[in-house]
């Protein structure tokens, strides 16, 4: 279906045809191979792929489509053609087209992705078992009727839900009786979500804020992952405030609660027993912040909600500069009884032993500490500044910094249950080594210390020798370094003979 112009250049004549006419033409071709040859020069590849799939087999077990086409009508037509044939998995990824640079000589001048406005109508896939839908910047309208009778996994990524879209009604048991996993990632305009499901066991919701109401009744739900769905700051008068969350969760067998979001016990209700709870994760906590800041209270209040948790995951963040900051960790007066404390720490050159000590002294039954060290300065230049063992000046705060005011953590002896410590991302700064040294002072029964050095460290002998010297005869110290050209890339350090 391609001709040539006066200069002999191939011309695509299919793209200008209406979608229904193109569909009829493709369906009348004798084979899938013929359809593929006919569509080679056409930009209307979605309709071609759909017709190709519909003609190729009585039933499709797996269909994968990836395109940068920006026509929501063509996308809808593709899904409509595939729906009655699909008896398995479908992965449909529509990526936005990137605009051209306004100045070809300026590599930094990159236009944002270009996407025509519009909405994709998702049909009912009655026999599909898994659906993965990525739409770039396009909207999605869900089917008003029909049952996804065999669907077990449903994923939306980078979609915009229309105003009349009721996702909760679609994924509830009446229309998705076998659905076990629901993932919604990097999406927006999902204002309310009400789910009644007898089958769901795993829910992940990652929205760009704005959710007003979330209610779920799921007697088999085991994992609930809700990051940043409610906690979207909005302008009201002259100040920025947290949107008030409203949620009700009834999940009696819930095991993992990742609630990295706003929490107010007056409007967020959890209906599940804590005796089965295995893991809890909260919003990041700022160790120092302006005195009027109250964001950390979301995590503080959530921690007070539980009595027992096997694994508690917290993220602690220090500011670059202290200024008039105030120490906020004292607001945490209670932790659940835990076995594993998993901390992600962005210290940014500050002393961090005090805040870790504050948490450990309340964790009387803790058996394992997992500490991941990270920050905003993971470039090679920052690493070179912080590698004390190479003779460079260590990037730390001044002695007068308020992070150095409390020294009680250096003399405490509190952990009679801590048996195992894992540290990742260690660079060898003075503050890090002081903390590792104090670990052995805190715990007389420490059996295992495992250290994964920062990825960019290369000259590691002096640092590893220092770490090994800190251990006691009863402690098994293992140090791993990253070697990208080997498999596996993490290698156990052994001292040279």
- Boundaries of every domain in the chain: 278-497
Which among 226, 281, 274 has a CA at the least distance from the CA of 248? Answer: 226
Contact 153, 181 (CB under 8 A): yes
- Three-state SS for the chain is CEEECCCCCEEECCCCCCHHHHHHHHHCCCCHHHHHHHCCCCCCHHHHHHHHHHHHCCCEEEEEEEECCCCHHHHHHHHHHHCCCEEEEEEEEECCEECCCCCCCCCCCCCCEECCCCEEECCCCCCCCEEEEECCCCEEECCCCCCCCCCCEEEEECCEECCCCCHHHHHCCCCCCCCCEEEEEEEECCCEEEEECCCCCEEEEEECCCCCEEEEECCCCCEEEEECCCCCEEEECCEEEECCCCEEEECCCCCEEEEECCCCCCCEEEECCHHHCCEEECCCEECEECCCCCCCHHHHHHHCCCCECCEEEEEEECCCCCCCCEECHHHCCCCCECCEEEEEEECCCCCCHHHHHHHHCCCCCCCEEEEEECCCCCCHHHHHHHCHHHCCCCCCCCCCCHHHCCCHHHCCCCCCCCCEEEEEEECCCHHHHHHHHHHHHHCCCCCEEEEEECCCCCCCHHHHHHHHHHCCCCCEEEEEEECCCCCCCEEECCCCC
Tell me what pLDDT residue 22 has.
Answer: 60
Burial annotation 129-162 (CB, 10 A radius, 16+ → b, else e): bbbbbbbbbbbbbbeeeeebebbbbbbbbbbbbe
Distance of CA 335 to the CA centre of its chain: 25
Tell me what pLDDT residue 25 has.
Answer: 61
Q: How far apart are CA 392 and CA 430, in angstroms?
A: 12
Determine how many CB atoms are found less than 10 A away from the CB of residue 193. 24
Residue 362 corresponds to which tokens in the numbers above? Answer: 């309340």
Q: Is 387 exposed, middle or buried (0-12, 13-18, 19+ CB in 10 A)?
A: buried
Contact 168, 248 (CB under 8 A): no
Rg (CA), the chain: 28
Tell me what pLDDT residue 38 has.
Answer: 45
pLDDT along the chain (497 residues), means of 10: 53 60 57 44 47 58 85 88 92 72 49 66 97 91 97 95 91 98 92 96 88 93 92 45 79 95 90 85 91 84 92 93 85 93 94 90 89 65 36 58 79 78 94 90 87 91 92 90 90 88
Which among 352, 362, 493, 371 has a CA at the least distance from the CA of 434? Answer: 352
Which residue reads 């760009």 in tokens?
Answer: 208
Determine how many CB atoms are found less than 10 A away from the CB of residue 213. 15
Distance of CA 321 to the CA centre of its chain: 28
Which among 399, 482, 382, 395 has a CA at the least distance from the CA of 432? Answer: 395
Tell me what pLDDT residue 70 has.
Answer: 72
Determine how many CB atoms are found less than 10 A away from the CB of residue 21. 10
Q: How far apart are CA 374 and CA 355, in angstroms?
A: 15
Tell me what pLDDT residue 137 has.
Answer: 75
Contact 252, 229 (CB under 8 A): no
Determine how many CB atoms are found less than 10 A away from the CB of residue 486. 9
Determine if the peptide bond prior to 332 is cis (ω within 30°): no
Tell me what pLDDT residue 458 has.
Answer: 84
Tell me what pLDDT residue 235 has.
Answer: 41
């Amino acid at each position: 279906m391609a001709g040539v112009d006066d200069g002999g250049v191939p011309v695509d004549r299919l793209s200008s045809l209406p979608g229904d006419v193109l569909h009829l033409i493709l369906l009348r071709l004798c084979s899938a191979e013929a359809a593929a040859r006919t569509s080679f020069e056409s930009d209307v590849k979605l309709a071609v792929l759909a017709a190709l799939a519909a003609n190729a087999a009585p039933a499709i077990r797996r269909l994968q489509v990836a395109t940068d086409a920006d026509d929501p009508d063509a996308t809808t037509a593709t899904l409509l053609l595939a729906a009655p044939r699909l008896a398995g998995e479908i992965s449909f990824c529509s990526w936005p087209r990137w605009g051209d640079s306004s100045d070809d000589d300026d590599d930094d001048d990159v236009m944002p992705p270009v996407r025509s406005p519009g909405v994709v109508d998702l049909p009912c896939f009655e026999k599909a078992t898994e659906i993965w839908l990525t739409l770039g910047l396009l909207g999605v309208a869900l089917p008003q009727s029909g049952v996804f009778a065999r669907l077990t996994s449903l994923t939306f990524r980078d979609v915009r839900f229309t105003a009349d879209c009721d996702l909760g009604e679609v994924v509830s048991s009446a229309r998705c009786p076998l659905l076990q996993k629901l993932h919604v990632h990097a999406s927006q305009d999902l204002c309310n979500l009400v789910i009644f499901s007898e089958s769901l066991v795993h829910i992940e919701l990652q929205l760009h804020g704005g959710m007003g109401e979330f209610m779920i009744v799921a007697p088999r739900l085991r994992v609930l992952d809700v990051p940043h769905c409610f906690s979207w700051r909005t302008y009201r008068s002259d100040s920025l405030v947290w949107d008030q969350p409203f949620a009700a969760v009834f999940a009696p067998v819930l095991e993992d609660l990742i609630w990295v979001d706003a929490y107010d016990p007056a409007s967020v209700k959890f209906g599940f027993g804590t005796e089965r709870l295995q893991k809890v994760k909260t919003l990041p906590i700022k160790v120092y912040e302006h005195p009027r800041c109250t964001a950390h209270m979301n995590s503080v209040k959530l921690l007070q909600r539980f009595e027992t948790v096997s694994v508690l995951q917290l993220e602690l963040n220090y500011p670059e500069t202290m200024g008039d900051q105030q120490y906020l960790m004292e607001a945490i007066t209670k932790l659940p009884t835990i076995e594993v404390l998993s901390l992600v720490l962005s210290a940014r050159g500050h002393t961090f032993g005090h805040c870790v000590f504050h948490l450990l002294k309340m964790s009387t039954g803790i058996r394992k500490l997992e500490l991941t060290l990270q920050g905003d300065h993971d470039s090679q230049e920052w690493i070179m500044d912080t590698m004390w063992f190479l003779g460079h000046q260590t990037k730390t705060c001044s002695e007068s910094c308020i992070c150095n005011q409390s020294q009680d953590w250096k003399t405490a002896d509190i952990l009679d249950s801590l048996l195992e410590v894992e540290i990742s991302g260690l660079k060898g700064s003075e503050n890090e080594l002081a903390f590792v040294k104090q670990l052995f002072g805190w715990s007389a029964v420490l059996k295992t210390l495992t250290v994964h050095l920062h990825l960019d460290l290369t000259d590691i002998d002096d640092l590893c020798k220092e770490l090994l010297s800190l251990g006691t005869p009863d402690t098994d110290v293992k140090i791993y370094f990253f070697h990208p050209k080997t498999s596996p890339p993490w290698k156990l350090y052994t001292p040279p003979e």
